[in-house]
Amino acid sequence: MAVETSIPHVGGAPLSGIHPLDPLTGDEIEACAAIVAASEFTTDSLRFVMISLEEPPKPADLDFDLLPEPPRKAFAVAYDGGVKMIYEGIVNLAEGEIETWTPVPGRFPSYLAEHMETVEVVVREDPRWQAAMTKRGISDFDLAMIDPWPAGYYGAQDHYDNSPLICRPLTFMRTAPSEHGYARPVEGVIVTFDMDSMKVIDVEDHGVVPLPPTAGNYAPEFMFDENNRPAFSEFRSDLKALEITQPDGPSFTVDGWGVTWQKWALRVGFNPREGLVLHQLTYADRGRVRPIMYRASLSEMVVPYGDPSPTHWNKNVFDMGEVGMGLMANSLTLGCDCLGEIYYFDGIVNDSLGKAVVIPNAVCMHEEDYGISWKHTDFRTGEVEVRRSRRLVISTIATVGNYEYGFYWYLYTDGNIEYEVKLSGVLTTGAIAEGEKPTWGALVAPGIFGPNHQHFFNVRMDMAIDGTGNSVYEVDSVPEPDPALNPHHNAWITKETLVASEAEGARDWEYSTARYWKVVNPSVVNELGSPVGYKLMPRDVVPSMVQEGSYIYDRARFVQHNLWVTKFDSKEKYAAGNYPYQSKDAQGLPEFIADDAPLEDTDLVLWYTIGAHHVVRPEDWPVMPCAYVGFMLKPVGFFDGNPALDVAPSAACHASAAGSAHEHKDGESCH
C-alpha cells in the first residue's frame, strides 16, 4: 500500500543529495511513521521503538559510486502492547510503501520514551511504595528519584506466554530539589512495574536500612552538606588558561556525513540503538584508496553486578539493547566535552509516536596533538629529526541513568586506529547500617557503598583489509621450541594459528604469550611478499566474573570470550541478539557461530569485548573520575615502511626552561 506523505522538514539534510549510508533525516523518520500509521498494520496501541536507516546491501567493491542509487528505506521496530508483539517493518520511503511487516513473537522491546517519563510518576502515587517510604521516615514523596531499571530475567515469572513488559524501579531520595539523589539509596525496596498497562504489579520490602547521613553533593551550589562537611572548599585558582587554537582552521573536511582527514576517509553514521557508527573507513596510500573497515560500531554492552543481596543481585543491564545508546546521547558542549576547532553532527531519533527528535551536537569531531610520532638524534652529527603525532577524534557521550559512557574513535597519522570508552558519572549505590562493612562491595562514604561490578562493551568491526577476502590469525610469542636452535635460552618466535571456521571463532587472550590477532588479505602482498594486514592489540583485559548457572550467563554469553570471529551476515549486528530485554536464552554470537561457516579468505567480522573491572573506591565518589578501557588496531605489513614519514616538521616550536620561552624564527622547523 503506497502512501503519499507531506511532512514538514525536521532536522538533518534535505532528501536530495543523500548518500546511501547517511542516517535518516527527520523528514524520513516522520515519513516512515506516517506510512505505517496509514497502513492496515496500525493500531491505537502501536508505538515506535526505533526508526533507523535500512542500510543497503554491501557493494562487492565496497563502493556505491558505480552502482545505481539504492532507494532510501527505513527499518522500523514497533511494539503493540495491546497484543504484546514486536513488529519489524521495512518501509520504502521513495515509494511510500511498506515492503515487509514481520511479527517477532516471544521477544520484548527496549524502552519506549514514554516508559522513561511515566514510570516515576506512577510509582510515586502507589500506596504500597508510599507505605515503604513512610516506614523509613520519608514524608516528602516528591523528592524521590525513581529509576526504571530494566527487568532482565530472573525466573519463569518474567517470560511466559502473554507475560507483561516489566521493569524493576529503584528509589533514591533527595533532601532538596536538584540535590545528588544517588547519595541516598533506599535499600531493600524493589518495585515490579507493568509497562504495558503502566501499573505497579508489586512492591517488595526487604527491611529498613537507614538512609546514608551525608549528601555527597559535587555541584558548586552545594559547597557544604547538612553536616557542614565540604564537598570542596573552593575552586582551584592556580590552573592557567589552556587554549587550543588552529589559526588556519582544522585539517579535516566535511561533506554531509563524509569526512576526510590527512589520508583517512570515512562516513559518520548515527542511529537510536548503536549511537555512533563509522562506515567505509579507507586510507590513501601512494595513489591508492585502500579500504580497512566497512562498518564499525558498539554492538552491545552489559553491566553485571556481583552483590547477591535483594536490591542488587538482579542488576544486569544491557544499556544498548535494553535502552538505546543513540537515544541516550548527550548534546555536547564546546569547551566542556570537546576542545579546539570542533565539527558537530546532530543525532536524529524518534519518539514513540514516530516524531523526529533532534539531539543537537550528538557527535563531536576534532583534532588533538598526541605528542611525538617519531624521533631520532644522530649523536655523532647532532642532527635531529622529530615529528608530532596528531589524531582525529570522533566521539559521542551517552547518559544511561547514573552512568556516563563516552565512546571515542581515534585515527592517527601513522595508520593506527584506536577505540576507547571513558566511564564516568555516578556509581550505583546501596545503603548500609552504621558500623557495618559490605561483603560484596566497598564503602565510598558513611552509610554508602558501591557493589562490585563489571562493564563489558562489545565492538563489531566489519573488516575489509584491501577488500573483503580476509583471514584471521591468532599470534602467540613463545620460546624457540627446538633446543638446538636455542642454546642460550633466549630465542623466541611468533606462532600463527589460522582461525579457520566459526567453531574456532571464540578466542581468549593469553598474557603468557602476549597474544594478539591479525587480520590479513591473503590476495594482497606487500613489497616483502607478506599478506597485508592489521592487528588487534588488546588493552587492560579483565576476566569475566559472570558465573555459569546465573541468569545472566546465557543472556550475556558474549562476555565469555575476548574475541569472536564470524562470517559477514548483514542481519548479525548485535552481540547479545536483537531483543535481549527480558529474555532468558543465549542470543547473538552463540547463534551466529552455530553453522560453523568457513572463515578463511572471506568477508568476516571481528567482535571484540572490552571489560572494565570495578572494585569501587572512595575516590569514585560522589562523581567518578573517568576510567579508560579500549583497544588498538595497528597496521602490520599493510604499509611498506613507516606511513608517518611524510608528516611535515612542525612550523614553529617553543622550548621553555627556568620560566623563559624561546620561539623559533619564522620558517624554522622542529628538526
Q: For CATH 3.10.450.40, list the domain ranges present in the chain.
A: 26-104, 113-222
Neighbour order of strands in the sheet with 430-431: 430-431, 448-451, 441-445
Q: What pLDDT score does 14 carry?
A: 34
Q: What is the mean pLDDT of residues 366-393?
A: 95
Instruction: Determine whether 319 is an active site residue.
Output: yes
CA dist., res. 136 & res. 130, Å (int)? 10
Please name which of 301, 324, 304 lies closest in space to residue 315, comparing C-alpha atoms.
Answer: 304
In the predicted model, is pLDDT for residue 53 greater than 80? yes
What one-character-per-residue DSSP string does 39-100 give?
STT--TTEEEEEEEE-PPPPPTTS--TTSPPPPPEEEEEEEETTTTEEEEEEEETTTTEEEE
In the predicted model, is pLDDT for residue 129 greater than 60? yes
Quick check: 71 and 92 in contact, CB under 8 A? Answer: yes
In the predicted model, is pLDDT for residue 2 greater than 50? no
Q: What pLDDT score does 668 carry?
A: 58
Q: What pLDDT score does 669 carry?
A: 63
Instruction: Determine whether 154 is an active site residue.
Output: no
Write the CATH number of the domain with boundaries 113-222: 3.10.450.40
Q: What pLDDT score does 217 carry?
A: 84
Q: Which residues contact 10 (CB under 8 A, 6 or more apart)?
A: 25, 26, 27, 29, 30, 348, 355, 356, 358
Q: For CATH 2.70.98.20, list the domain ranges present in the chain.
A: 252-635
Establish whether the linkage from the previous residue to 23 is cis, with ω within 30° of 0: no
pLDDT tens profile 626-640: 999 999 999 999 999
Q: What pLDDT score does 10 carry?
A: 38
Q: What pLDDT score does 243 carry?
A: 86
**Model confidence band, residue 3 (pLDDT cutoffs 50, 70, 90):** very low
Number of neighbouring beta carbons within 10 Å of residue 254: 14
In the predicted model, is pLDDT for residue 223 greater than 70? no
Instruction: Check 87, 111, 182, 403 and give the catalytic one.
Output: 403
Q: In Å, how far from its chain's centre is CA 653?
A: 37
**Model confidence band, residue 660 (pLDDT cutoffs 50, 70, 90):** very low
pLDDT tens profile 390-406: 999 999 999 999 999 99
Instruction: Check 307, 319, 414, 554 and give the catalytic one.
Output: 319
pLDDT tens profile 642-656: 999 999 998 755 444
CA dist., res. 501 & res. 499, Å (int)? 6
Q: What pLDDT score does 495 carry?
A: 98
What's the predicted TM-score (pTM) here? 0.94
In the predicted model, is pLDDT for residue 659 greater than 50? no
Q: What is the mean pLDDT of residues 577-584?
A: 95
* Lowest mean pLDDT segment, chosen from 120-129, 236-245, 508-517: 236-245
In the predicted model, is pLDDT for residue 609 greater than 70? yes
pLDDT tens profile 310-369: 999 989 999 999 999 999 999 998 778 888 899 999 999 999 999 999 999 999 999 999
pLDDT tens profile 133-160: 999 999 999 999 999 999 888 887 777 6
Most confident stretch, 8-17, 219-228, 250-259: 250-259
290, β-bridge pairs: 283
Q: Which CATH class is domain 252-635?
A: mainly beta
In the predicted model, is pLDDT for residue 665 greater than 80? no
pLDDT tens profile 408-447: 999 999 999 999 999 999 999 999 998 999 999 999 999 9
CATH domain 26-104 topology: Nuclear Transport Factor 2; Chain: A, (3.10.450)
Q: What is the mean pLDDT of residues 84-107?
A: 97
Q: What pLDDT score does 227 carry?
A: 55
The half-sphere exposure of 206 on its side-chain side, counting CA atoms within 13 A, is 11
Q: Where are the beta strands (DSSP E) in 93-233?
A: 97-104, 144-147, 166-167, 170-173, 189-194, 199-205
CA dist., res. 23 & res. 477, Å (int)? 43
Q: What pLDDT score does 230 carry?
A: 54
